Amino acid sequence: MTALLATICLILISIIVVQIGKVTELAGKIRGEEEVQEQSNKRHANYSLIFMVLFLAATLVSAWYYKDSMLWYGPNESASEHGSSLDSIFNITLFFTGLVFIITQILLFYFAWKYRGQRGRKALYMPHDNRLEVIWTVIPAIVMTFLVVGGLDAWNEVMADVDPNEEYIEIEGTGYQFAWHLRYPGPDGKLGTRDYRLVSGTNPLGQDWTDPKNLDDFHPSEIYLPVGKKVRVRITARDVLHNFYLPHFRVKMDAVPGMPTYFVFTPKTTTEEYRRKLGALNLNGEPMYPEWHEPVDPSDPESPKKFEAFDFELACAELCGEGHYAMRRVVKIVSEGEYQDWLSKQQPYYESTIKGTDDDPYKEEAAPESEVESQPEEAEPETPQTTETTE
Amino acid sequence: MANVETKPVVHEEDLLIEEYGYDDHFHEHHHGDKYQSNFITTYIFSQDHKMIAKQFLITGMFWAIVGAAMSLIFRLQLGFPEENMAWLKPLLGKWITVNEAGIGSLAPEFYYALVTMHGTILVFFVLTAGLSGTFANFLIPLQIGARDMASPFLNMLSYWFFFLSGLIMFLSLFLNTGPFSGGWTAYPPLSALPQASSGSGAGMTLWLLSLVFFVVSVLLGGINYITTILNLRTKGMSMWRMPLTIWALFVTAILGLLSFPVLVSAFLLVMFDRGLGTSFFLSEIFIGGQALDHVGGSPVLYQHLFWFLGHPEVYIIILPAMGLVSEVLSVHSRKPIFGYKAMVYSILAIGFLSFIVWAHHMFMSGVNPFISNFFVIFTLIIAVPSAVKVFNWIATLYGGNVRFTAASLFAIGFVSMFISGGLTGIFLGNSAIDIQLHDTYFVVAHFHIVMGVAAFFGMFAGIYNWFPKMFGRFMNETLGKIHFWGTIIGAYAVFWPMHYLGMAGVPRRYYRFDSFAAFGQFDAMNQFITIAAIVTFGFQVLFVINFFYSIWKGRKMTSRNPWGATTLEWTTPLEPGHGNWPGKLPTVQRWAYDYGKDGKEFIPQIQPLEEGEKEGH
Ligand code: HEM
Ligand SMILES: [Cu+2]
Ligand SMILES: [Cu+2]
């Protein structure tokens, strides 16, 4: 019904517009083509100028309005160390391109307006000017060089792999249709080997249980990381391409079947700190970011405020099929103490699911020497507790 | 202002052509015109380049409408995900699922199919075939002074391969499992494994088949365009006297010829992986409860092959638009294009560089980060010739006597769009920034503004400008101008806000945003974009009405050269027949941009230089 109405409206509007077109054409015939053209030049030159002003105003106002979603500013500040270098290059680029944008758009529409066609006026014969060409080749080239050098400097630092001698935490994210499967190395600090042919319902990552490094690996449902520690994420995919994307940390890397990739980053803000920042009040005691003070559930004003419920998120950023848009995991950045506390509650996947079953190569014997401490049976690895600091 | 001829008795052009023209004895060979003897050879299997151009144009318009309509449907999903879509059920059938409460919603797999088809259709069928196909066919022979293409027969085949390709793609829309839904880039393994997605079965098979035929069409056309430009230029038409449209179409055809075969090779390898059990792009995959045998392949290899075409492809789309805009801007500001040679060199530079920047689409795909250094450098170098072009366009307006027509407005709009979208390329080309922006709405904003909207603007400028030459009638100017203002405002309203979404990190290709707190805060903006898209679509309807109405009912063209242009196509009769010029071929005496020289409004290319006159550039 609405479709029908819309169609009818559209047809009516079209007919009206065609009639307008016809009328103006008729008027043109009466008044003479040149006269009409000159008037039209004047009118549309004026529209150009108006458009230019409104357009630039709209870009500036909307940029101001959406400043909170821009990199670096307010709520969208990077929560990782390398992120700020990247955000600053973004802003330098924004400055230069913004300048060029404003100048060129103004000149374009201003010239169109200024040099609108008038009877009796002659256009300049000005086919070229090599000096100008050189100037506007060299200046962009210099600006580009400046941006490239800054960009590559940051890029090579951000993308550098860890040095084997330094201290870092290695974790693993595996994309599959349609979720992320997470793995931590356990107390030995090493991820065990995998073979995709071993994947099964009980062995989602195809871990090789004859590799002792696997026996202490655990599979949490959220990423927990201590603030200020370097993290190397090993990124893999089980079926098709995915992309390990942590928007707040400026981390993004494809997960490729058959080819593990990695990304190294250091979280610099804890979840609690980030929440506090989102909920901050200004000097007048008003929220700095009112949108974060709305209730999570719009129909229930009593529900927690958005900033209180905020969490860092892991998403997928490479089209992987119909469930691509919902591969969410929560990321929690905590203090070192909370992190240790959380670690101590995790149970190795081997212990919880494999041990003693037909998949267990050590079913008949005692498991080989491993640093795994056995955990109380109640500790459910799938639901990490929100922890209070214990120290 | 246009020179108004009152009595078309004796045309000055004809006298000049008669005096200086070149007699190739065309009419002695072509008695009875075997090319256009009946309906079928005139309108269907025509070998006349002008008719083939119209076929490309109208087929392109058909696809543009289909592709745009698809985008409205998925925009409704993004703007109003909770809204009842049951009213679309008659059109989309089982792809609308209706729950117990009677609320219909778009199935996610069909959302992805729509996005994929939209991208494929717009990039290949509309902005490659519809744009190059139309204007290369129409303008190359007319502007270089040739009777037709080098091979009219291959030219005809080129259209019919395109038609076949479109037909196959169209059929794939009606498959039970749906059309292909893995994105227009069709990355394997998603595209290679029918288990991975319902569209990757028969849908993908037809998609591949369709695009292979499409490439055949592009190659047949391209060889023809290049040969024609190199060999069939009339006497006096040296390369440095060619209008920029021809330069742009020339480089476009070369890019196509060098890059499309690589795409076919990628497609063939995907077909082998799909059908013959090879493992070019597949390795260590567990899917559908089963570990596949494929080992040793690399999905990243496909991306290299794809983008080796894919990046030149975006220039294949934009260069013809740039050529059209250069011509239209110059003609309507009554001034020579500023820096003709700089424009040619920048086209050549862009063409060359476009082959060595492809991996800027792959910064985050797992390629060695060191390699990215080179691609960052080359990518940002490309911004320099692009900037030169923009400055030259602006300088062309400077000091002009600008005639505001629908064509010139769209040309000005093109420059505005190209600036806005080109500048965001500078963010994306810098790999460090691309870490955050890759695969977000920032990229969507970038390429829609710089390629999608800008190329459409170039195409509109071209259509409004050459419509009289194509159909002997004018399109309605008032409607054209309304179309322009509606479109430029609408297009910015649709795509500008997407920058903010992208900066906030919202990924592209999401069926809905509310599964994430970080991405779900922009409901109002998404609704705004959807409404703006619907309104903008409405203005395109206006264009379509104007176009078809004007073919039959438009104001008749009474003078041969309504815009007062210098180029050869305007020296042909009002409705040129096969062979374009009834008598001798015109010869060229000067460059294409003598506007306002020596106090003359314009001097056609067929006008000999005066005693002691130096050529323009
Ligand atoms: C100033 C010059 C330009 C630069 C530096 C540039 C850079 C880039 C980069 C780095 C990307 C990849 C972004 C990503 O996926 O993360 C990109 C995407 C894209 N660019 Fe540009 N670009 C420029 C101009 C153009 C032009 C002129 C066109 C087309 C006419 C164009 C069309 C595209 C398209 C279609 C995509 C997206 C493809 C896809 O992922 O679906 N760009 N651009
Ligand atoms: Cu995904
Ligand atoms: Cu590119």
Other CB atoms within 10 A of residue B223 CB:
18
Distance of CA B41 to the CA centre of its chain: 27
- Extents of the domains making up chain B: 12-283+293-602
Q: How large is the C-alpha radius of gyration of chain A?
A: 31
Q: Tell me the CA distances in angstroms from B361 to A386, B185, B308, B506, one per residue in order.
A: 40, 11, 10, 18
Please give the pLDDT value at position B34.
Answer: 54
CB contact under 8 A, A140 and B387: yes
Q: How far is A121 from chain B (nearest CA, A)?
A: 7
Asked if B419 and A101 come within 8 Å (Cβ–Cβ), the reply is: yes
- pLDDT averaged over every residue in chain B: 91
**Residue A208 in domain:** yes
Q: What is the pLDDT of residue A29?
A: 75
pLDDT beyond 60 at A389:
no
Q: Give me the percent of chain A exceeding a pLDDT of 70.
A: 92
d(CA A292, CA A280): 10
Residue A293 lies in a domain: yes
Dihedral of CA atoms B585, B588, B594, B598 in degrees, nearest 10, equals: -110
pLDDT for the residue A375: 46
The two three-digit tokens of residue B349, written as one number: 């530079």
Q: Are residues A41 and A114 in the same domain?
A: yes
- CA-to-CA separations, B393 to A274, B211, B340, in angstroms, rounded: 48, 35, 10
Does any domain span residue A199? Answer: yes
Q: CA A191 to CA A174: how far, in whole Å?
A: 13
Measured between alpha carbons, how far is residue A336 from residues A200, A333, A341, A386, B466 in Å?
35, 9, 9, 14, 70
Identify the residue whose C-alpha is closest to ligand 1 atom 33.
B447
Closest CA to B371 of B300, B294, B469: B300
* A292 part of a folded domain: yes
Instruction: Residue B445: list chain A partners with CB under 8 A.
Output: none
Q: Are strands B96-98 and B104-106 parallel, antiparallel or unpaired?
A: antiparallel
Task: Give bridge partners of residue A81 from the DSSP assignment.
Answer: none
Burial of B485 by CB count in 10 Å (0-12 exposed, 13-18 middle, 19+ buried)? Answer: middle
Give residues with Cβ within 8 angstroms of B172, minimum separation 6.
B179, B180, B202, B203, B206, B207, B210
Q: How far apart are CA A113 and CA A116, in angstroms?
A: 5
B362 within 8 A of B300, measured Cβ to Cβ:
yes
> How many Å apart are CA B476 and CA B463, to the nearest integer?
12
Does the beta-carbon distance from A252 to B333 stay under 8 Å? no
The two beta strands, A231-237 and A223-226, are unpaired
| Ligand 1 atom nearest to B185, measured from its CA | 41
Q: Of the segments A293-302, B45-54, B233-242, B453-462, which one has the largest average pLDDT value?
A: B453-462
Q: What is the pLDDT of residue A232?
A: 95
- Report the alpha-carbon angle B114-B119-B121, nearest 5: 90
Q: Kindly state the average pLDDT of the residues B155-178.
A: 94
- Whether residues A194 and A69 share a domain: the answer is no
Q: Which of A131-135, A322-326, B42-46 has the lowest mean pLDDT?
A: B42-46
Domain span at residue A284 reads 169-372
- CA-based nearest residue in chain B for residue A310: B517
- Tens-digit pLDDT profile for residues B59-111: 999 999 999 999 999 999 999 988 888 888 888 888 888 888 888 889 999 99
CATH number assigned to the domain comprising residue A278: 2.60.40.420
A391 pLDDT band (50/70/90 cuts)? Answer: very low
The one-letter code for the residue type at B416 is: S
Residue A258, domain member (yes or no): yes
**How far is B314 from A21, CA to CA, in rounded Å?**
36
Residues of A in contact with B399 (CB under 8 A): 115, 123-124, 126
ipTM exceeding cut-off 0.85 for this assembly: yes
- pLDDT value of residue A11: 80
Min mean pLDDT across A309-318, B19-28, B70-79, B459-468 is at B19-28
Whether residue A147 is contained in a domain is answered as: no
Kindly state the average pLDDT of the residues B123-133. 95
Give yes or no for residue B434 CB within 6 A of ligand 1.
Answer: yes
Contacting residues of B for A144, CB less than 8 Å apart: 380-381, 383-384, 426
Q: How confident is the model over A143-164, as pLDDT tens digits?
A: 999 999 999 999 999 999 998 8
Structure confidence at residue B615 (pLDDT): 80
Q: Is-contact B585 B147, C-beta < 8 A?
A: yes
Per-state percent for chain A, helix, strand, coil, to nearest 5: 45, 15, 40
User: Does B136 score more than 60 pLDDT?
Assistant: yes
Residues A231 and A327 in one domain: yes
Phi and psi torsions of A169, nearest 5°: -105, 130
How crowded is residue B514: how many other Cβ atoms within 10 Å of its Cβ? 14
Cβ-based neighbours of A114, under 8 Å, separated by 6 or more = none
User: Which of B386, B444, B450 most suits a substitution to test ligand 1, by most atoms within 8 Å of the C-beta?
Assistant: B450
pLDDT for position B29: 57
End-to-end CA gap in chain B: 24
At A208, list the tokens. 């090789």
Q: How far apart are CA B362 and CA B303, in angstroms?
A: 8
pLDDT band at B32 (very low <50, low <70, confident <90, very high): very low
CATH architecture of B12-283+293-602: Up-down Bundle (1.20)
Contacts of B562 in chain A (CB under 8 A): none
- Give yes or no: residues A46 and A175 share one domain: no
Segment B406-422 mean pLDDT: 96
Q: Can you read off the two tokens belonging to residue B34? A: 């075997």
pLDDT band at A41 (very low <50, low <70, confident <90, very high): very high
Strands (E), B99-229: 104-106
The pLDDT of residue B8 is above 70: no
β partners of residue A255: A242
A234 and A341 in a single domain? The answer is yes
A369 pLDDT band (50/70/90 cuts)? low
Q: Is residue A123 part of a domain?
A: no
What is the C-alpha separation between B368 and B372, in angstroms, rounded?
Answer: 7
Q: Is cis: bond before B189, omega within 30 of 0?
A: yes
The CA distance from A132 to the nearest CA of chain B, in Å, is 9
**For position A376, what pLDDT does the model report?**
45
The two beta strands, A169-176 and A231-237, are parallel
Structure tokens at B567: 């180029």
Confidence bin at A368 (pLDDT 50/70/90): low
Residue B390: predicted pLDDT: 95
Q: In chain B, pLDDT over 70 holds for what percent of residues?
A: 97
Higher pLDDT, A364 or B387: B387
Please say whether the beta carbons of B111 and B81 come within 8 A.
no
Closest residue by CA, ligand 1 atom 20 = B447
The predicted pLDDT at position A378 comes to 43
Task: Give one DSSP letter per residue of B122-143, joined into a string.
Answer: IIIIIIIIIIIIHHHHHHHHHH
How many domains does chain A fold into? 2
Q: Is any atom of ligand 1 closer than 6 Å to the C-beta of B452?
A: no
Taking the C-alpha atoms of residue B579 and residue B23, their distance in angstroms, rounded to an integer, is: 13
Residue A263 lies in a domain: yes
**Helix-then-strand count for chain B, H and E:** 19, 4
Amino acid at B148: D
Segment B492-496 long-range contacts (CB within 8 Å, at least 24 positions apart): B492/A55, B492/A58, B492/B420, B493/B528, B493/B529, B493/B532, B493/B536, B494/B448, B494/B529, B494/B532, B494/B533, B494/B536, B495/B444, B495/B445, B495/B448, B495/B449, B495/B453, B496/A58, B496/A59, B496/A62, B496/B420, B496/B445, B496/B449
Q: Which of A307, A303, A328 is nearest to A74 (CA)?
A: A307
Q: Which residues contact B44 (CB under 8 A, 6 or more apart)?
A: none
Predicted pLDDT at A382 = 43
B364 lines ligand 1 (CB under 6 A): no
Residue A188 Cα, ligand 2 centroid: separation in angstroms? 31
Same domain membership, residue A196 and residue A283:
yes
- Would the pLDDT of A81 be above 80? yes
For residue A366, what pLDDT is reported?
A: 60
Question: Please, what is the average pLDDT of chain A?
Answer: 87
How many Cα atoms are found within 13 Å in the side-chain-facing hemisphere of A236? 23
Cα maximum dimension of chain A: 104
Which structure tokens are listed for A47? Answer: 């529209």
Query: How many Cβ atoms are within 10 Å of A335's Cβ, its own excluded?
Result: 16
d(CA A168, CA A163): 9
- Judgement on whether residues A107 and A196 belong to the same structural domain of the protein: no
Cα(A160)–Cα(B163) distance, rounded to whole angstroms? Answer: 49
- In this complex, do A115 and B339 lie within 8 Å of one another by their Cβ atoms? no
Structure-block tokens of residue B443: 């990229």
Residue A76 has pLDDT above 90, yes or no: no
pLDDT tens digit string along A218-258? Answer: 999 999 999 999 999 999 999 999 999 999 999 999 999 99
When scoring A233, A299, A325, A332 by the number of chain B Cβ atoms within 10 A, the one with the most, hence best to mutate, is A325
Peptide bond into B125 cis (omega under 30): no
Check residue A346 and give left, alpha or beta (phi > 0: left; psi -120 to 50: alpha).
beta
The predicted pLDDT at position B27 comes to: 64
If residue A224 lies in a helix (H) or strand (E), which one and from where to where? strand A223-226
User: A22-36, B392-406, B425-439: which range is least confident on average?
Assistant: A22-36
The shortest C-alpha distance from B376 to chain A (Å) reads 7
Q: What is the pLDDT of residue A387?
A: 39
Using the predicted structure, report yes or no on whether residue B575 has a pLDDT greater than 90: no
Query: Which residues surround the ion ligand 2 when the cut-off is CB under 5 Å?
Result: A 242, 316, 320, 324
The yes-or-no verdict on residue A9 having pLDDT over 60 is yes
* Distance between CA atoms of residues A276 and A279, nearest Å: 5
Q: Could you report the per-residue pLDDT of A46-68, keeping only the tens digit for each? A: 999 999 999 999 999 999 998 88
Ligand 1 close to Cβ of residue B360 (< 6 A):
yes
* 3-class SS of residue B226: helix
Burial of A374 (0-12, 13-18, 19+ CB in 10 A): exposed
Spatial distance between the Cα atoms of B367 and B359, rounded to a whole number of angstroms: 9
For A293-334, the DSSP string reads GSBSSTT-TTSPBHHHH--EEEEE-S--STTGGG--EEEEEE
Query: Which pLDDT score is estimated for A146?
Result: 92
For chain B, the maximum distance between any two Cα atoms, rounded to a whole number of angstroms, is 86
Secondary structure (3-state) at A270: coil
- Among all bound ligands, the one having the nearest atom to the CA of B185 is 1
Q: Determine the distance in angstroms separating the CA of B38 from the nearest CA of chain A, rounded to an integer.
A: 34
